[in-house]
């Protein structure tokens, strides 16, 4: 979601980032998730796609640390998702009691064609924004 939010200011992901920035929603982060964001966002290809400098992206990463609620994950669920790196998001959602994992890649969170891994839901940024608007008018 963070990648899409930086890539385009027209989409739901960017709107979610604005809600985070205004303090209207809460965002949880762990050290492994931060490191994953850092790795992906600072790649040369990402810098070109975003048309941002490395310094700009470091500021975004700093913002995520400041705005996010840090959660220390003391156990690993390891649901063995297709992409091993996605497991850390499930661990974080479970440890934090999050209601949602918001991602465009919901198919990567399927296990045996099911999305139910814990007490949270995996939804797209667009679906999250629809729910947000319904609840908050």
Check: CB of residue 37 under 8 Å from CB of residue 72: no
What one-character DSSP code corresponds to residue 42?
Answer: T
Report how many domains make up the chain. 1
Residue 29, domain extent: 2-136
Q: What three-state secondary structure class fits 29?
A: strand
The CATH number of whichever domain residue 13 belongs to comes to: 3.40.50
Q: What three-state secondary structure class fits 132?
A: helix
Average pLDDT, integer, range 77-94: 82
Which of 35, 24, 27 minimizes the C-alpha distance to 61? Answer: 35
Question: For the chain, how many residues are written?
Answer: 137
Each residue's pLDDT tens digit, 53-65: 999 999 999 999 9
Query: From the CB of residue 46, how many other CB atoms can be counted at a distance below 10 Å?
Result: 17
Q: What is the pTM of this model?
A: 0.85
pLDDT at residue 83, rounded to an integer: 80
Q: What is the Cα–Cα distance from 31 to 130, expressed in whole angstroms?
A: 30
DSSP one-letter string for 25-47: S--EE-HHHHHHHHHHHTSHHHH
Each residue's pLDDT tens digit, 5-58: 888 889 999 999 999 999 999 999 999 999 999 999 999 999 889 888 999 999
| Cα dihedral value 31, 34, 36, 42, nearest 10 | -140
């Amino acid at each position: 979601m963070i990648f899409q939010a930086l890539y385009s200011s027209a989409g739901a992901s960017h709107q979610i980032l604005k809600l985070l920035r205004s303090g209207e929603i809460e965002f949880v982060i762990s050290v492994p998730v931060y490191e994953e964001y850092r790795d992906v966002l600072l790649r040369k290809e990402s810098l070109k796609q975003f048309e941002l400098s490395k310094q700009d992206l470091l500021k975004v990463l700093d913002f995520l640390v400041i705005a996010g609620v840090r959660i220390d994950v003391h156990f690993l669920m390891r649901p063995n998702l297709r992409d091993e790196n996605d497991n850390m998001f499930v661990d974080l959602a479970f440890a934090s009691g999050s209601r949602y994992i918001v991602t465009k890649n919901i198919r990567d969170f399927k296990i045996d064609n099911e999305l139910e891994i814990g007490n949270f839901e995996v939804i797209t940024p667009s679906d999250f924004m629809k729910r947000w608007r319904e609840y908050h008018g």
